[in-house]
Structure 1
Amino acid sequence: MRYSYEYKRKCVELFRQGIIPDVPEGISRDRFLKYLNKWMRLENANGPGALKHNNQHKIWEPDDKLVLVSKVIAGQSISSVAIDAGINEGMLYQWVRKYKIYGYNGLINQKKGRKPMNPKIKKVGTRKPPKPDESEYEELIRLRAENEYMKAEIEVIKKEIALREQKEAARLKAKKQRSSKNSEKMDSN
């Protein structure tokens, strides 16, 4: 459930006066008191503006993240550091986890979204590639001819290998037949 800024301020003021506000429907009393305690700590640490919903997400620099992570590693609780900084505990937990796994590099902001299917292909739009100049065109023709020559060479080598294998197979077959004839002569004696 998302509470409005005015509702949070009203609840905090009532709680400071010693009055426990009415618990909204669909939430337990204990859970609501935890929220209330968190709102009070947030307001004490960062002022009443900390209770407002931020529509804009702040982009944290790796050095700023490192300061908060080092506080947690030094022994402070994640919730107290998060409240002091005015951020979500889950976000700080992720920073600590990434720092423990990847070190400082884990705190560097990464690109978001799905990776491209083929990263080598970049969207160019409607722009056509420039035409090669004369020397590049000649080089292209030379390389294509060289490529065709190499393909033909490879085919010749493959055929030679296949012929050698056929000859070897025929030689082994003949040798096997000779040895079987010799063994038949020895058996008949």
Structure 2
Amino acid sequence: MVKKHTAKELEQFIELYLDGVSFHELRSEYGLKISPGSFNMYFLNYKAHGPSVLEDRDGFNTYTNEFKEKVVKEFLESKTYFTAIARKYKIPCAKTVRNWIIKYTNGEAEKAYYPKPEVYTMKFRKTSHEERIFIVKDCIQNQLDYKQTAQKFNVSYNSVYQWVKKYQKYGPDGLVDSRGKRKPDNIQTETERIRAEMAILKARNEYLETENAALKKLQEVESELMFARRNLKRNIKRLKN
């Protein structure tokens, strides 16, 4: 990929920006050719690590398999953002980190990415509820080493990762295969609560409809009585005459 700017040019643009020149002016008057997102990433990396971070921006082919795996694992096990991870490890583009994570978690890692890539490209293997619980407990006992657990039990990394998260949130019932089956009660709680509220609202609406119907009927009866009274008065008046 052809670089739009050399490291020296990027450094000059960043220094101009620090000196008060706006991004719009850098684009229109100084010849900056990169997007706001890319420039912001370079700018943040520059502030965090200095000019050296601009030297090597090819990114994809310059990182070892172990480094990529370390970055992805840290992202999965933390609550940080792509940009923060990229900045921490001097990766010029947060999109690079995002692409690694997408491939990693979707099981589409290429062989050049990681040793033993079959852990990530492995096809789905059917497992029982009891087996999933056993795998999760083994993973937890081994300091959440998802990769080692995946290799040990011949399942995909993503499967282990998802099972552990569900187990931590819902317990053993979270590992029930719900495809075409009833979900565990504790997962259904929110759904059942909503259904209960809907049933209450429905009953209330039916009650109000009944009340409204009764009120309407009462009004009709009252109207009929008033009409009957008027007729009775007219008839009495005619008889007197």
Into which bin does the TM-score normalised by the smaller protein fall? 0.3 to 0.5
Name the TM-score, length of structure 2 as normaliser: 0.29
Structure number with the bigger relative contact order (C-alpha 8 A, sep ≥ 6) is 1
| Larger Rg over CA atoms | 1
